[in-house]
Amino acid sequence: MARTLFSGVLKAHPELFERLGDYRRTRYGFSPVDLPLHFTVVPAMKALTVSRGAAPPVDARIEGPLVLLLGLLEGRCDADALFFSRDLSVTGDMEAMLALRNALDDSAIDLPRELGALAGPLSPLIAGTARYIRGKALEGRDATWN
């Protein structure tokens, strides 16, 4: 499911990884602290790997609750505030992580819309439900950093 959603986001936002410049070859890790999964993205390869167990080696990693990681992807959360409040942990190449944040800026990623696009005739129901869940999950945290 994660790979299918990832592919949909890349189709809707083909310029996203181009904005990374030299950081396209960086291995980015996303580790939700509330799931036993790790997501690794290599922009140059347009690849997403999902793994369990020990976190795979990456150049830059961000850890935090899944809902906050998804909120960051959509640009709905203040990354700086979450970092300084210790809701998120960032390790590795900080410049690469800043480049990723800048690339996500203005990308207008909407995960409920992307989920809805996968649902065929149930699209309005799935997208609406996902928007409702997102709203409740991010309540009070959905202030963008810019």
- Is pLDDT at 54 greater than 90 in this prediction? yes
pLDDT band, very low/low/confident/very high, at 146 (cuts 50, 70, 90) = very low
d(CA 37, CA 34): 9
**Which pLDDT score is estimated for 38?**
96
Among residues 69, 73, 98, 66, the alpha carbon closest in space to that of 13 is found at 73
d(CA 85, CA 114): 30
pLDDT band, very low/low/confident/very high, at 142 (cuts 50, 70, 90) = low
- Is pLDDT at 85 greater than 80 in this prediction? yes
Q: pLDDT of 106-134, one tens digit each?
A: 788 888 888 888 888 998 998 899 889 88
What are the backbone angles phi and psi of residue 92, rounded to the nearest 5°? 90, -145
- Is pLDDT at 143 greater than 60 in this prediction? no
- Is pLDDT at 144 greater than 70 in this prediction? no
**Which pLDDT score is estimated for 145?**
46
